[in-house]
Chain A
Amino acid sequence: MMKRYDMIVVGAGPAGLSAAIEAAKKGMHVVVYDENAKPGGQLFKQIHKFFGSKEHKAKIRGFHIGEELLAEAAELGVEVVLNAIVIGIFPEKEVTVKVEDHVIHVKGDTILIATGASENMVTFPGWTLPGVIGAGAAQTMMNLHGTLPGKRVLMLGSGNVGLVVSFQLMQAGCEVVAVADAASRVGGYGVHAAKVARCGVPFYLSHTIISADGEDCVTGVTIGEVDKNWQIIPGTEKHFDVDTICLAVGLSPMSKLCDMAGCAMEDNPAKAGFVPTVNEYGETSVPGIYAAGDVSGIEEASSAMIEGRIAGIAAAARLGFISEETCKEEAAKQEAALEGLRQGMFAPGMRGKQITETEEGVEISQNLLKHGFVAEEEIERFPGVTHSAGVHPVIECTQNIPCNPCQDACPKHCIRIGSNITALPSIDPEKKCTGCGMCVASCSGQAIFLVNEDCGDGTAEVTLPYEFLPLPQKGDKGVALNRKGEKVCAAEVVHVRSAKAFDHTNLLTMKVPKEYAMKARFFREEETA
């Protein structure tokens, strides 16, 4: 007798685990297969804090979300089988799985395909040399296997993956020599770009890789500026000595299993590739087979989790574990949460659109889009940037993204976002900042600083989020870097605060001459001093 499950889930990533949890909650007998040795999909590589609001698990680091999902699934009796490769889906929902050295056949009354995505590559002379790797691969090496991919890295791609991984490479101890992108504007969140730029990483927009050097492995890379027709402009070549080239040039849905299962497919550029067509519950054209997460269109982990939950709820209704009404009700709640994430300047519907103003009517920072940081002459126009006596928050959040943890983080309610989750945070001048730093630690974009512009002795104090090791100590002397990552003045560490509530975002306070209060945004130990 073939083993039978109420639901077979392929892929133990955010979508698959969320679906399994939702289905098991309704009483379904669920198995999750994953080809990897560790569950969680990409979540366990995500060491940064997530965006969104509370319901989207904002300000929680990705791997913690993964741990939470796994614990919840285990508690509900979900069977998670690792090193288990689903090799085919056949008629009547028969699934073949390679487990250890044999193939098992199982049947599911419903199936959820949550196989995720694979990394895109680009070709250039030398692209097959060892040392040219996907940004996701670099992340796997660093964050799962504890291995450095290299010492000096060039990142191609300024989307969120490229930016987040660039930052993580630096956290791991690599030098990132540049972020390059053929597009003319930074593709990812400005706050991610800004935290990379202020560490001194130059951004080369409208640049692509001409070639990688090296005989047996990468020893260098040449990039050049492209014109409107993506052709290299002669004379714009720049060379870097690197041992690693990271490619973060997009993802493609890994949807072959859907195709094989007989689901109607479409090649949809808006979803970044070949995807199954699904209804509002994630159900494919084959009744009882669902798809959720990146496999049905590239988005991110937060939306994948919600899509998974919706599919789990719908599968439960299909098998009669819950009523149609309950299904509609619960799915609608999840839909609303999903809708909340798909707002703002980076919403799926905004792709390719040129935005010049924020929702508030503030002119967008062009320097942020071209160079990865907000220029000094631009920063003052944003509502989070204000001046007052004593310590106060300076919120360098300049794009409408669906994220609001800072609003709840302030115990004094100094920070206002309001009910519109994408609104830029603003400062309530009536409320008094105590300098507790909860907002600084809560900002997933590391865009909040505490500034005391005038300490009365010609100095100013700037508190910044710091996630590098070794942690500087009180009294350490070094230099302050500006938003571009240039050394601007000497700086001394006044104190470094670490607290459980900060979740590994340390608060480094440095003293700088007061004219640098609104310029100094990063601290570096002085190498020579």
Chain B
Amino acid sequence: MNDRNRELRPFVPQPDDDMIVCRCEEITKGEIRRAVHDGMFTLTEIRRYLRTGMGLCQGQTCTKLVKGIVSRELGVRPNELGPATGRAPMRPIEMKVLAKDKEETK
């Protein structure tokens, strides 16, 4: 995936480019396809570039969809595309709760 010289087919607008794929962050299919052409070849890069999968559901709904779009754009199989990194917190959590963490463990 890290072959940055990968030749992509030219970006061709598609009729459903304005369809929302990541509902939480309201990112469209077209934006994701564009991002690939901007050089974002991994899910981690796409995520940082567009914030897909970083909203309330933490990618539970769109990860597979985004993966499909990116892999089609790159011309690879979806399972060749590595996953985005799993990090704590696993679920959205309020800052005030996280902030209390320190007190608890003292």
Asked if A and B bind, the verdict is yes
Of A52-60, A85-93, A461-469, the one contacting chain B is A85-93
A252, B16: Cα distance in complex, Å: 25
Query: Which of A146-154, A261-269, A486-494 binds B?
Result: A261-269
Contact A103 B64 (CB under 8 A): no
Is the Cβ of B104 less than 8 Å from the Cβ of A103?
yes
A101 touches B104 (CB 8 A): no
A246 → B minimal CB distance (Å): 15
**Do A128 and B104 have beta carbons less than 8 Å apart?**
no
User: Is there a chain A Cβ closer than 8 Å to B100's Cβ?
Assistant: yes
Closest to A122 in B: B65
Binary contact readout B82-98 vs A (1 if CB under 8 angstroms, 0 otherwise): 11011111110110111
Would you call A269 and B89 a contact (CB within 8 A)? Answer: no
Interface residues of A in 2-28 (CB under 8 A from B): 2
Besides the contacts A88-B90, A128-B23, what 15 more A-B pairs have beta carbons closer than 8 Å? A2-B105, A88-B87, A88-B89, A98-B89, A98-B97, A103-B97, A121-B64, A123-B16, A128-B20, A256-B90, A257-B90, A259-B85, A260-B88, A273-B64, A274-B83
Looking at the assembled complex, report how far the CB atom of B2 sits from the nearest CB atom of chain A, in whole angstroms.
17
| Option from B64, B91, B100 in Cβ contact (under 8 Å) with A101 | B100
Q: B99 to chain A: closest CB distance in Å?
A: 9
Q: Is the CB of A101 within 8 A of B97?
A: yes
Does B56 interact with chain A (Cβ within 8 Å)?
no
Interface presence of A96 (CB below 8 A):
yes
Q: Binary interface profile of A, 98-114, with partner B (CB < 8 Å = 1, else 0)?
A: 10011111000000000
B interface residues (Cβ-Cβ under 8 A, vs A): 16, 19-21, 23, 29, 60-65, 78-80, 82-83, 85-91, 93-94, 96-98, 100-101, 104-105
Chain A residues in 8 Å Cβ range of B82: 267
Residues in A with CB closer than 8 Å to B94 are: 101
Chain B nearest Cβ from A226, distance in angstroms = 16
B88 touches A96 (CB 8 A): yes
Nearest Cβ in chain A — how far from B48, in angstroms? 17
Instruction: Please give the distance in Å from B30's CB to the nearest CB on chain A.
Output: 12
A254 interfacial by beta-carbon distance below 8 Å: yes
Pick from B21, B23, B86 the residue with the most CB of A within 10 Å. Answer: B86
By beta carbon, the residue of chain A nearest B68 is: A123
Residues of A within 8 A of B101 (CB): 96, 102-103
**Contact: B88 with A268, CB < 8 Å?**
no
The answer to whether B83 touches A267, judged by C-beta atoms less than 8 angstroms apart, is: yes
| B63 CB contacts on chain A under 8 angstroms | 252
Q: Convert A67-82 into 0s and 1s, putting 1 for each residue whose CB lies closer than 8 angstroms to a CB of B.
A: 0000000000000000
Chain A neighbourhood of B104, CB < 8 A: 102-105
Given A123-B21, A128-B23: A85 and B83 interface contact (C-beta under 8 Å): no
Check B100–A103 contact: CB distance below 8 A: yes
Contact present for B16 and A254 (CB under 8 Å): no
Residues of A within 8 A of B62 (CB): 121
Q: Which 4 A-B pairs rank lowest in CB-CB distance, beginning with the nearest?
A: A88-B88, A256-B86, A259-B86, A267-B79
Q: What's the minimum C-beta distance from A402 to chain B, rounded to whole angstroms?
A: 29
Is the CB of A118 closer than 8 A to any CB of chain B? Answer: yes
Contact with B91, one of A87, A102, A120, A268 (Cβ below 8 angstroms): A87
Asked whether any CB of chain B lies closer than 8 Å to the CB of A234, the reply is no
**What is the CA–CA distance of A257 and B60 in the complex, to the nearest angstrom?**
13
Alpha-carbon gap, A319 to B94, bound state (A): 36
For B80, what are the chain A residues with a Cβ–Cβ distance below 8 Å? 267
Determine the distance from Cα of A103 to Cα of B93 in the docked complex, in whole angstroms. Answer: 10
Q: Check if A86 sits within 8 Å of B21, measured CB to CB.
A: no
Q: Using CB atoms, name the residue of chain B closest to A269.
A: B79
A118-B60, A121-B65, A125-B16 known; A259-B83 Cβ under 8 A: yes
Tell me the nearest residue of chain B to A120, going by C-beta: B64
Cβ contacts A to B, 20 pairs, < 8 Å: A2-B105, A85-B89, A86-B90, A87-B93, A96-B88, A96-B101, A101-B96, A102-B101, A103-B97, A120-B64, A123-B21, A123-B29, A123-B65, A128-B23, A258-B86, A259-B85, A259-B86, A267-B79, A267-B80, A274-B83
**A121 with B61: in contact, given A259-B83, A265-B83, A267-B83 (CB under 8 Å)?**
yes
Do residues A87 and B29 form an inter-chain contact, with CB atoms below 8 A?
no
CA–CA, A96 and B105, complex, Å: 11
Q: Considering the complex, which residues of chain A in the window 259-287 have a beta carbon less than 8 Å from any beta carbon of chain B?
A: 259-260, 265, 267-269, 273-274
Nearest opposing residue in chain B for A268, CB measure: B79
- Inter-chain contacts of B89 with A (CB < 8 A): 85, 87-88, 98
